[in-house]
Amino acid sequence: MKIRIGTRGSLLARWQAEHVKGRLEARGHEVELRFITTTGDRTPGPLEPVGGKAAFLKEIEESLLAGEVDLAVHSLKDVPTELPAGLALTAVLERADPRDALVSGGAPLAALPSGARVGTTSLRRRALLARHRPDLVLADLRGNVDTRLRRRRDGDFDAVVLALAGLARLGREAEVSEALDPERFVPAPGQGAIGLEVREGDAALREAVAPLHHEETSRAVTAERTLLAALGGGCNVPLGAFAREAAGGGALRLVAFVARDDRGGFVEASGEGSDPAALGAKVAARLRASSVAAVP
Protein backbone atom coordinates (compact mmCIF):
# COMPACT_ATOMS: atom_id res chain seq x y z
CA MET A 1 0.00 0.00 0.00
CA LYS A 2 1.30 3.50 -0.84
CA ILE A 3 1.00 5.93 2.06
CA ARG A 4 1.69 9.67 1.96
CA ILE A 5 2.63 11.07 5.37
CA GLY A 6 2.07 14.75 6.05
CA THR A 7 4.42 16.32 8.60
CA ARG A 8 6.02 19.56 9.66
CA GLY A 9 9.62 20.15 8.68
CA SER A 10 11.20 20.65 12.11
CA LEU A 11 13.93 18.21 13.14
CA LEU A 12 11.70 16.61 15.77
CA ALA A 13 8.70 16.32 13.44
CA ARG A 14 10.97 14.81 10.78
CA TRP A 15 12.32 12.27 13.27
CA GLN A 16 8.81 11.22 14.24
CA ALA A 17 7.65 10.95 10.64
CA GLU A 18 10.77 9.00 9.63
CA HIS A 19 10.22 6.67 12.56
CA VAL A 20 6.66 5.91 11.44
CA LYS A 21 7.81 5.65 7.81
CA GLY A 22 10.43 3.06 8.74
CA ARG A 23 7.98 0.95 10.72
CA LEU A 24 5.44 0.99 7.89
CA GLU A 25 8.07 0.17 5.26
CA ALA A 26 9.19 -2.78 7.39
CA ARG A 27 5.64 -4.09 6.96
CA GLY A 28 5.86 -3.83 3.18
CA HIS A 29 4.23 -0.45 2.55
CA GLU A 30 5.56 2.22 0.18
CA VAL A 31 5.80 5.47 2.14
CA GLU A 32 6.42 9.06 1.04
CA LEU A 33 6.94 12.07 3.33
CA ARG A 34 5.39 15.40 2.43
CA PHE A 35 6.54 18.41 4.43
CA ILE A 36 3.95 21.06 5.24
CA THR A 37 4.54 24.51 6.73
CA THR A 38 1.88 25.30 9.33
CA THR A 39 0.51 28.50 10.83
CA GLY A 40 2.42 27.70 14.02
CA ASP A 41 5.68 27.50 12.09
CA ARG A 42 5.05 30.91 10.55
CA THR A 43 4.06 32.60 13.83
CA PRO A 44 7.00 34.02 15.83
CA GLY A 45 4.92 35.31 18.75
CA PRO A 46 2.27 33.82 21.07
CA LEU A 47 0.20 31.02 19.57
CA GLU A 48 -3.06 31.79 21.39
CA PRO A 49 -4.34 34.31 18.79
CA VAL A 50 -3.85 31.76 15.98
CA GLY A 51 -5.37 28.73 17.70
CA GLY A 52 -2.78 27.64 20.27
CA LYS A 53 -0.94 24.39 19.60
CA ALA A 54 -3.58 23.45 17.03
CA ALA A 55 -1.84 26.00 14.80
CA PHE A 56 0.81 23.29 14.24
CA LEU A 57 -1.85 20.94 12.83
CA LYS A 58 -4.17 23.16 10.76
CA GLU A 59 -2.57 22.90 7.31
CA ILE A 60 -1.69 19.22 7.77
CA GLU A 61 -5.30 18.40 8.64
CA GLU A 62 -6.51 20.43 5.66
CA SER A 63 -4.21 18.36 3.43
CA LEU A 64 -5.64 15.17 4.96
CA LEU A 65 -9.21 16.26 4.30
CA ALA A 66 -8.31 17.28 0.74
CA GLY A 67 -6.79 13.87 0.04
CA GLU A 68 -3.31 15.32 -0.56
CA VAL A 69 -1.81 13.16 2.22
CA ASP A 70 -3.09 9.97 3.83
CA LEU A 71 -1.61 10.03 7.31
CA ALA A 72 -0.52 12.74 9.76
CA VAL A 73 2.09 12.13 12.45
CA HIS A 74 1.78 14.36 15.54
CA SER A 75 3.23 14.84 18.99
CA LEU A 76 0.08 13.83 20.85
CA LYS A 77 0.43 16.63 23.41
CA ASP A 78 -0.17 19.10 20.56
CA VAL A 79 -3.39 17.43 19.36
CA PRO A 80 -6.69 18.98 20.57
CA THR A 81 -9.25 16.63 22.10
CA GLU A 82 -11.76 17.69 19.41
CA LEU A 83 -10.65 16.94 15.86
CA PRO A 84 -12.07 18.40 12.65
CA ALA A 85 -15.09 16.55 11.26
CA GLY A 86 -13.97 13.66 9.08
CA LEU A 87 -10.67 13.01 10.89
CA ALA A 88 -9.77 10.54 13.64
CA LEU A 89 -6.82 9.41 15.74
CA THR A 90 -6.35 5.82 14.66
CA ALA A 91 -3.23 4.74 16.56
CA VAL A 92 -0.97 5.82 19.40
CA LEU A 93 2.63 4.61 19.41
CA GLU A 94 4.43 3.37 22.50
CA ARG A 95 5.22 6.32 24.71
CA ALA A 96 8.75 7.59 25.19
CA ASP A 97 9.80 9.05 28.55
CA PRO A 98 6.99 11.52 29.39
CA ARG A 99 8.95 13.64 31.87
CA ASP A 100 10.06 17.23 31.51
CA ALA A 101 13.79 17.85 31.54
CA LEU A 102 15.79 20.73 33.00
CA VAL A 103 18.85 21.76 30.98
CA SER A 104 21.09 24.03 33.05
CA GLY A 105 24.64 22.94 32.38
CA GLY A 106 24.65 20.82 35.52
CA ALA A 107 22.57 22.11 38.43
CA PRO A 108 19.24 20.43 39.26
CA LEU A 109 16.14 22.57 39.80
CA ALA A 110 16.57 22.73 43.59
CA ALA A 111 20.15 23.99 43.23
CA LEU A 112 19.58 26.81 40.74
CA PRO A 113 20.58 30.12 42.34
CA SER A 114 17.85 32.52 43.41
CA GLY A 115 17.03 34.84 40.53
CA ALA A 116 18.21 32.40 37.87
CA ARG A 117 16.57 33.06 34.51
CA VAL A 118 14.62 30.05 33.23
CA GLY A 119 13.16 29.90 29.72
CA THR A 120 9.83 28.34 28.76
CA THR A 121 6.67 29.61 27.09
CA SER A 122 4.47 26.77 28.42
CA LEU A 123 1.95 28.04 30.98
CA ARG A 124 1.99 24.59 32.58
CA ARG A 125 5.75 24.63 33.09
CA ARG A 126 5.70 28.24 34.29
CA ALA A 127 3.04 27.40 36.90
CA LEU A 128 5.05 24.41 38.14
CA LEU A 129 8.29 26.37 38.26
CA ALA A 130 6.57 29.21 40.13
CA ARG A 131 5.22 26.73 42.64
CA HIS A 132 8.43 24.83 43.32
CA ARG A 133 10.90 27.72 42.87
CA PRO A 134 9.07 31.07 43.25
CA ASP A 135 12.44 32.84 43.47
CA LEU A 136 13.32 32.12 39.83
CA VAL A 137 12.84 34.58 36.97
CA LEU A 138 10.66 33.03 34.26
CA ALA A 139 10.97 34.26 30.67
CA ASP A 140 9.30 33.30 27.40
CA LEU A 141 11.27 31.07 25.07
CA ARG A 142 9.90 29.75 21.77
CA GLY A 143 11.64 27.94 18.96
CA ASN A 144 12.75 24.43 18.08
CA VAL A 145 14.88 22.30 20.39
CA ASP A 146 18.18 23.47 18.88
CA THR A 147 17.19 27.12 19.21
CA ARG A 148 16.24 26.74 22.88
CA LEU A 149 19.41 24.86 23.76
CA ARG A 150 21.57 27.35 21.86
CA ARG A 151 20.03 30.32 23.63
CA ARG A 152 20.88 28.77 26.98
CA ARG A 153 24.46 28.12 25.87
CA ASP A 154 24.68 31.71 24.62
CA GLY A 155 23.78 32.97 28.10
CA ASP A 156 20.25 34.25 27.42
CA PHE A 157 18.98 31.82 30.07
CA ASP A 158 20.49 29.99 33.02
CA ALA A 159 18.24 27.00 32.35
CA VAL A 160 15.48 25.84 30.02
CA VAL A 161 12.76 23.20 30.42
CA LEU A 162 11.95 20.86 27.53
CA ALA A 163 10.24 17.52 26.97
CA LEU A 164 12.70 14.72 27.65
CA ALA A 165 11.23 12.61 24.83
CA GLY A 166 12.11 15.23 22.24
CA LEU A 167 15.67 15.59 23.52
CA ALA A 168 16.14 11.81 23.48
CA ARG A 169 14.73 11.45 19.96
CA LEU A 170 17.19 14.06 18.69
CA GLY A 171 20.16 12.52 20.49
CA ARG A 172 20.45 15.40 22.98
CA GLU A 173 19.65 13.44 26.15
CA ALA A 174 23.22 13.89 27.43
CA GLU A 175 22.49 17.61 27.91
CA VAL A 176 19.76 16.92 30.50
CA SER A 177 20.69 18.16 33.98
CA GLU A 178 17.63 16.68 35.69
CA ALA A 179 14.63 14.62 34.62
CA LEU A 180 11.78 16.09 36.68
CA ASP A 181 9.56 13.83 38.81
CA PRO A 182 6.24 13.47 36.89
CA GLU A 183 4.24 13.25 40.14
CA ARG A 184 5.53 16.68 41.25
CA PHE A 185 6.27 18.28 37.86
CA VAL A 186 3.25 16.88 36.05
CA PRO A 187 3.66 16.53 32.24
CA ALA A 188 1.22 17.72 29.60
CA PRO A 189 -1.52 15.24 28.61
CA GLY A 190 -0.09 12.91 25.99
CA GLN A 191 3.50 14.07 26.43
CA GLY A 192 6.01 11.61 24.96
CA ALA A 193 3.43 9.85 22.76
CA ILE A 194 3.05 10.00 18.98
CA GLY A 195 -0.47 10.01 17.50
CA LEU A 196 -1.48 9.00 13.98
CA GLU A 197 -4.39 10.85 12.37
CA VAL A 198 -6.31 9.66 9.30
CA ARG A 199 -9.52 10.31 7.40
CA GLU A 200 -12.33 8.75 9.38
CA GLY A 201 -13.58 6.49 6.60
CA ASP A 202 -10.19 5.20 5.42
CA ALA A 203 -10.53 1.59 6.58
CA ALA A 204 -7.54 0.35 4.55
CA LEU A 205 -5.18 2.85 6.17
CA ARG A 206 -6.56 2.12 9.63
CA GLU A 207 -5.74 -1.54 9.02
CA ALA A 208 -2.24 -0.66 7.75
CA VAL A 209 -1.27 1.34 10.85
CA ALA A 210 -3.05 -0.86 13.42
CA PRO A 211 0.11 -2.90 14.19
CA LEU A 212 1.84 0.31 15.36
CA HIS A 213 -0.78 0.92 18.06
CA HIS A 214 0.35 0.44 21.69
CA GLU A 215 -2.57 -0.35 23.95
CA GLU A 216 -0.90 0.42 27.29
CA THR A 217 0.05 3.89 26.07
CA SER A 218 -3.41 4.36 24.60
CA ARG A 219 -5.05 3.62 27.97
CA ALA A 220 -2.85 6.12 29.77
CA VAL A 221 -3.29 8.95 27.29
CA THR A 222 -7.04 8.31 27.08
CA ALA A 223 -7.30 9.04 30.80
CA GLU A 224 -5.19 12.20 30.41
CA ARG A 225 -7.03 13.50 27.35
CA THR A 226 -10.45 12.73 28.82
CA LEU A 227 -9.51 14.92 31.79
CA LEU A 228 -8.28 17.63 29.43
CA ALA A 229 -11.52 17.55 27.46
CA ALA A 230 -13.64 17.62 30.61
CA LEU A 231 -11.88 20.77 31.80
CA GLY A 232 -11.92 22.44 28.40
CA GLY A 233 -8.15 22.77 28.64
CA GLY A 234 -5.60 23.74 26.04
CA CYS A 235 -2.42 25.76 25.86
CA ASN A 236 -4.29 28.71 27.45
CA VAL A 237 -4.74 26.78 30.72
CA PRO A 238 -1.89 25.77 33.07
CA LEU A 239 -2.83 22.10 33.33
CA GLY A 240 -0.97 18.81 33.65
CA ALA A 241 -2.13 15.20 33.67
CA PHE A 242 -0.12 12.00 33.85
CA ALA A 243 -1.37 8.41 34.00
CA ARG A 244 0.54 5.19 34.42
CA GLU A 245 -0.11 1.67 35.63
CA ALA A 246 -0.86 1.62 39.34
CA ALA A 247 1.13 -0.51 41.76
CA GLY A 248 -0.02 -4.09 41.49
CA GLY A 249 -1.23 -3.72 37.88
CA GLY A 250 -4.71 -3.88 36.42
CA ALA A 251 -5.52 -0.23 37.08
CA LEU A 252 -4.23 3.20 36.18
CA ARG A 253 -3.14 5.96 38.54
CA LEU A 254 -3.82 9.49 37.25
CA VAL A 255 -2.35 12.63 38.81
CA ALA A 256 -3.34 16.08 37.59
CA PHE A 257 -3.29 19.75 38.45
CA VAL A 258 -4.80 22.96 37.19
CA ALA A 259 -3.73 26.46 38.13
CA ARG A 260 -5.55 29.78 38.07
CA ASP A 261 -2.63 31.35 36.21
CA ASP A 262 1.10 30.79 35.74
CA ARG A 263 1.94 32.32 39.14
CA GLY A 264 -0.11 30.07 41.40
CA GLY A 265 -3.65 29.17 42.47
CA PHE A 266 -2.91 25.46 42.42
CA VAL A 267 -5.40 22.60 42.69
CA GLU A 268 -4.28 18.97 42.54
CA ALA A 269 -6.19 15.70 42.35
CA SER A 270 -5.48 12.05 41.71
CA GLY A 271 -7.30 8.76 41.41
CA GLU A 272 -7.11 5.15 40.32
CA GLY A 273 -9.35 3.06 38.11
CA SER A 274 -9.42 0.38 35.42
CA ASP A 275 -11.52 2.36 32.91
CA PRO A 276 -9.32 5.14 31.44
CA ALA A 277 -12.14 7.44 30.32
CA ALA A 278 -14.04 7.05 33.60
CA LEU A 279 -10.83 7.74 35.53
CA GLY A 280 -10.14 10.91 33.56
CA ALA A 281 -13.68 12.15 34.14
CA LYS A 282 -13.49 11.32 37.87
CA VAL A 283 -10.23 13.21 38.46
CA ALA A 284 -11.49 16.15 36.37
CA ALA A 285 -14.59 16.29 38.60
CA ARG A 286 -12.37 16.38 41.68
CA LEU A 287 -10.42 19.30 40.23
CA ARG A 288 -13.64 21.17 39.40
CA ALA A 289 -14.99 20.52 42.90
CA SER A 290 -11.89 22.14 44.36
CA SER A 291 -12.90 25.45 42.70
CA VAL A 292 -9.57 26.57 41.30
CA ALA A 293 -10.89 30.11 40.75
CA ALA A 294 -11.31 30.51 44.50
CA VAL A 295 -7.76 29.47 45.38
CA PRO A 296 -5.83 32.48 46.63
Residues acting as catalytic residues: 78
Per-residue DSSP letters for the chain? -EEEEEE--SHHHHHHHHHHHHHHHTTT-EEEEEE---HHHH--S-SGGGTGGGGGTHHHHHHHHTTS-SEEEEEGGGS-SSPPTTEEEEEEPPP----EEEESSS--GGGSPTT-EEE---HHHHHHHHHH-TTSEEE---S-HHHHHHHHHTTS-SEEEEEHHHHHHTT-GGG-SEEPPTTTSPPPTTTT-EEEEEETT-HHHHHHHGGG--HHHHHHHHHHHHHHHHTT-STTS-EEEEEEEPTTSSSEEEEEEEEEETTEEEEEEEEEES-HHHHHHHHHHHHHHT-GGG--
32, burial (CB in 10 Å: exposed 0-12, middle 13-18, buried 19+): exposed
Q: What residues contact 154, with CB distance under 8 A and at least 6 apart?
A: none
Instruction: Give the burial class of 235: count Cβ atoms within 10 A of its Cβ; 0-12 exposed, 13-18 middle, 19 or more buried.
Output: buried
Q: Are strands 159-163 and 117-119 parallel, antiparallel or unpaired?
A: parallel
